[in-house]
Amino acid sequence: MSRHEDIVRVAAQVAPIPRGDDGAPVFREPWEAQAFAMTLALYEQGLFAWTEWAAALSAVIKQAQASGDCDDGSTYYQHWLTAIERLVRDKGIASEQALAERRNAWDRAAHATPHGQPILLANDPLR
């Protein structure tokens, strides 16, 4: 079984990854695929175990549901991203401040990018 299949299996135990008719993961936005790939890359580097990942994703989803999340699948990768950010922060890989600075840079880049163009961190006007 490939590492990609491993992460899909573990995620399915917590909350199934959205899939198309062909069974392949479906990403509505490029950032969702990037968050998926980033999680896989961090796992491959040995920064966390699958059980840690499953626990982190499960905790984020449960917290969101308790707060009234729409729970229709549209926020799935937002939860995914929140979980990976928490793992990275909790393991001391990046501080909350560093994560917040990066989120803000992406937000500024998004607002500075013309419609229809790829959002690049280089587009951050404060970079």
Which position has the token pair 């501080």? 95
Mean pLDDT of the 91-95 span: 94
Amino acid at 64: A
Listed residue (86, 42, 24, 38) closest to 61, CA to CA: 86
- Return the residue matching tokens 């607002």: 111
- How confident is residue 102, by pLDDT bands cut at 50, 70 and 90? very high
Give CA–CA dist 101/103, Å, rounded.
Answer: 6
The listed range with the strongest mean pLDDT (9-13, 93-97, 118-122) is: 93-97
pLDDT over threshold 90, residue 109: yes
pTM of the model: 0.76
Token reading at 104: 């803000």
Tell me the mean pLDDT in the region 49-57.
89
**Does 71 or 49 have the greater pLDDT score?**
49
